[in-house]
């Protein structure tokens, strides 16, 4: 069960630490994929946005748009940052 | 089909049309939902005595007044105001100044968060 | 689920691509999918991609005030609405995403 | 002077206000003042402010390709042009400013 | 005689030091007025953009749009950054 | 009424329509002027093997080819490429890699600079 899903659009433009909970999940889209996160966070990236920018992100961190929709469906709430 | 707890989160400065539109949305949504309009980061400039007309933007006073009448809560981030050395204007509705931690709690408790 | 997307970004933006792709995926998953255009998002009503998505099942609404202000005359497949109409759509929605 | 402004930003932006104010000042100073709209700047052709500035002497041009792409049909006070037309305008200009 | 006039729109988004010459002049407009420069640079700010944002910048550093047009006219060239 | 020395300076990344439009402008202007298209900062991503179609943007190849045929110079900032660890794609025109200092000189020498 995912708590809040945060969709991040811009590199280095994140909700502040007070807002993030351990069970939250971060999805990087658009230019945010240019700066992948460290492994201590729950995160993944939009596969098409990664491939479009020719960036290397591990396959298991990449989500199709349908994966993203499934995560949105299961989330408690979704915040597009 | 129930009334929702909604946060309209304003993090951009008000010197383009963005915040004006965000407030219009907040006014509309407050007719149906429990509304919290929360100004954080550069969003807090919105509540100072700035002059929208000088840059071709409509003033916010009517929207703020409508939010007050509709029982929406209007909240400004304490740290953001302090860091920027800003003074809030007197608005036709009550503005609550709140620390980051409490704002984080409010966001956690809400069902819909619309960030601008 | 009942998914509502609020679109306030202009049609030649990162957000436009994201929104189109998310809607395609949502429709594939058979979710009830709605979009509400406001502010500079109104200009998106002039793009073919939105009309095509409507034909695949996307329900399209827009803020009539912002459209008039921008001199946009949407076609009849888009439904004229208001900020109060948006509030109602939010009531019915399971998830609300905003792009601005 | 002969001032050319290239406008590629959308009409509800910081740039729109700046461009309108600069043009007003340039016309007051009796400079020959021209604007060329392209990309998302095309949407500015729908704003009254531009028409009013044209009536005060602003020469208005736009990229026909971008206008068609965005389904914008400018009124006759704006002159249909192209990127090659813009190159010609640049030849005549003393100063060229771009807002994008 | 002004060399190049740089018109800056966003706070902290400047041409790099290699590009600026001593005789160049910087005009802050839009949100760039939120961060005034230090006095070792040749600069001024758009008066209306300053007043709109309720920022304090010394009167002698503030330019009307007509002042800006006059500076543009006299400049060698103008770069909107 | 003379031919001008023009620099189209691309400092934004190419993942929106901005750079595509900048190149269209550069192609048009190179019919009349001495054109230099200079990619600095995040602009250098434009010249890598990225995939515009995946994000709904038209490819740049035709514009780059046209610039080459028209005798425009295409220049990429050496430091920006290195800092980002990028590899440039093979394009249908010559791309000159140039250090910041030389790019600054080029800008000083030009008559019109259009920055994107």
Is residue A2 pLDDT above 80, yes or no? no
Residue % of chain D over a pLDDT of 70: 100
CA distance F56 to C24: 14
Name the closest residue on chain C to residue F17, using Cα atoms.
C12
Residue of F16, F54, F85 best to disrupt the A interface, most CBs of A under 10 A: F54
The per-residue pLDDT for E40 is 78
pLDDT tens figures, B38-51: 999 999 999 999 99
Residue D12: C-alpha distances to residues C14, C75, D16, F73 (Å): 17, 23, 6, 35
Asked if the Cβ–Cβ distance from A54 to F15 is below 8 Å, we say: no
The per-residue pLDDT for E41 is 82
CA distance C30 to D24: 53
Is residue A16 pLDDT above 90, yes or no? no
CB C99 within 8 A of CB C18: yes
The per-residue pLDDT for E22 is 87
Contact list in B for residue E32 (CB cut-off 8 A) is: none
The per-residue pLDDT for B70 is 95
Low-confidence ranges of chain D (pLDDT < 70): none
Q: What is the CATH number of domain F5-115?
A: 3.40.1260.10
The per-residue pLDDT for F7 is 98
Least confident stretch, A41-45, A46-50, C35-39, D14-18: A41-45
Name the closest residue on chain E to residue F102, using Cα atoms.
E18
Which pair of structure tokens corresponds to residue C75? Answer: 């076609």
Is residue C64 pLDDT above 90, yes or no? yes
Q: Where does residue B100 rank: exposed (0-12), middle (13-18), buried (19+ CB within 10 A)? A: middle
**Averaged pLDDT score across all residues of chain D:** 97
pLDDT, average across residues C83-91: 97
Q: Does C30 touch chain A (CB under 8 A)?
A: no
Please state the φ and ψ torsions of residue E10, each to the nearest 5 degrees: -120, 145
Contact list in B for residue E53 (CB cut-off 8 A) is: 15, 45, 50
Asked if the Cβ–Cβ distance from C12 to F15 is below 8 Å, we say: no
Q: Which H or E run includes C20?
A: helix C14-28
Indicate which CATH number applies to the domain containing C68: 3.40.1260.10
Contact list in D for residue E65 (CB cut-off 8 A) is: 21-22, 24-25
Indicate which CATH number applies to the domain containing E22: 3.40.1260.10
pLDDT, average across residues B60-82: 98
CB D24 within 8 A of CB D53: yes
Domain of residue E28: give its range: 4-80
Q: pTM for the whole thing?
A: 0.95
Tell me the three-class secondary structure of chain B, residue by residue. CCCCEEEEEECCCCCCCHHHHHHHHHHHHCCCCEEEEEECHHHHHHHECCCHHHHCCCCCHHHHHHHHHCCCEEEEEHHHHHHHCCCECCCCCCEEEECHHHHHHHHHHCCEEEEC
pLDDT, average across residues B87-106: 97
The per-residue pLDDT for D70 is 95
3-state secondary structure of C47: coil
**Averaged pLDDT score across all residues of chain B:** 96
Residue % of chain C over a pLDDT of 70: 100
The per-residue pLDDT for E12 is 83
pLDDT tens figures, A62-81: 999 999 999 999 999 999 99
The per-residue pLDDT for B1 is 55
Pick F49's closest partner by Cβ from A31, A49, A54. A54
Domain of residue C37: give its range: 2-99
CA distance C96 to B105: 20
* Cβ-defined contacts of C47-53 (< 8 Å, 24+): C47/C11, C47/C16, C49/C16, C49/C20, C50/C20, C50/C78, C51/C75, C51/C77, C53/C20, C53/C23, C53/C24, C53/C27
Which residues have a Cβ under 8 Å from the Cβ of A48 and sit 6 or more positions away? A64, A65, C21, F54, F55
Q: What is the dihedral of CA E35, E40, E42, E45, to 10 degrees?
A: 20
Chains E and A touch (3+ CB pairs under 8 A): no
Q: Count the alpha carbons within 13 Å of E58 in the hemisphere toward its beta carbon.
A: 7
CB F50 within 8 A of CB F23: no
Tell me the β-bridge partners of F73. Answer: F36
For residue D34, give how far its alpha carbon lies from the nearest alpha carbon of chain B (Å).
21
Residue matched to tokens 């029982």: B71
Per-residue pLDDT tens digits of chain E, which is 81 residues long: 469 999 999 998 889 888 888 899 999 999 999 999 988 789 999 999 999 999 999 999 999 999 999 999 999 999 999
* Cβ-defined contacts of D75-80 (< 8 Å, 24+): D75/D45, D75/D51, D77/D51, D78/D37, D78/D45, D78/D50, D78/D54
Asked if the Cβ–Cβ distance from E53 to B15 is below 8 Å, we say: yes
Which pair of structure tokens corresponds to residue B32? Answer: 């149906």
Q: Does B22 touch chain A (CB under 8 A)?
A: no
Q: Does E77 touch chain D (CB under 8 A)?
A: yes
Is residue A3 pLDDT above 60, yes or no? yes
Contact list in B for residue E48 (CB cut-off 8 A) is: 54-55
């Amino acid at each position: 069960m995912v708590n809040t899903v945060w969709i991040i659009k811009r590199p280095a433009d994140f909700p502040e630490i007070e807002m993030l909970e351990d069970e939250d999940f971060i999805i990087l889209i658009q230019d945010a994929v240019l700066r992948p996160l460290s492994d201590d966070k729950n995160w993944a990236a939009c596969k098409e946005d990664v491939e479009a920018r020719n960036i290397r992100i591990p396959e298991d961190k990449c989500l199709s748009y349908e994966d993203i929709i499934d995560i949105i469906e299961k989330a408690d709430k979704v915040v597009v940052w | 089909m129930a009334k929702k707890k909604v946060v309209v989160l304003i993090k951009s400065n008000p010197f383009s049309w963005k915040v004006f539109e965000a407030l219009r949305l907040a006014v509309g949504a407050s007719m149906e939902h429990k509304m919290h309009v929360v100004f954080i980061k550069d969003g807090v400039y919105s509540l100072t005595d700035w002059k929208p007309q000088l840059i071709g933007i409509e003033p916010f006073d009517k929207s703020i007044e409508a939010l007050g009448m509709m029982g929406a809560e209007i909240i400004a981030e304490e740290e953001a105001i302090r860091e920027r050395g800003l003074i809030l204007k007197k608005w036709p509705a009550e503005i609550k100044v709140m620390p980051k931690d409490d704002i984080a709690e409010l966001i956690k408790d809400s069902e819909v968060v619309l960030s601008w | 689920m009942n998914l509502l997307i609020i679109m306030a970004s202009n049609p030649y933006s990162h957000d436009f691509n994201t929104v189109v792709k998310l809607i395609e995926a949502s429709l594939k998953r058979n979710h009830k999918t709605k979009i509400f255009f406001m502010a500079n998002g109104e200009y998106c009503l002039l793009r073919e991609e939105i009309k095509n998505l409507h034909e695949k099942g996307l329900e399209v609404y827009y803020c009539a005030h912002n459209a008039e202000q921008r001199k946009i005359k949407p076609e009849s497949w888009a439904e004229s609405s208001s900020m109060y109409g948006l509030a109602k759509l939010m009531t019915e929605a399971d998830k609300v995403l905003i792009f601005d």
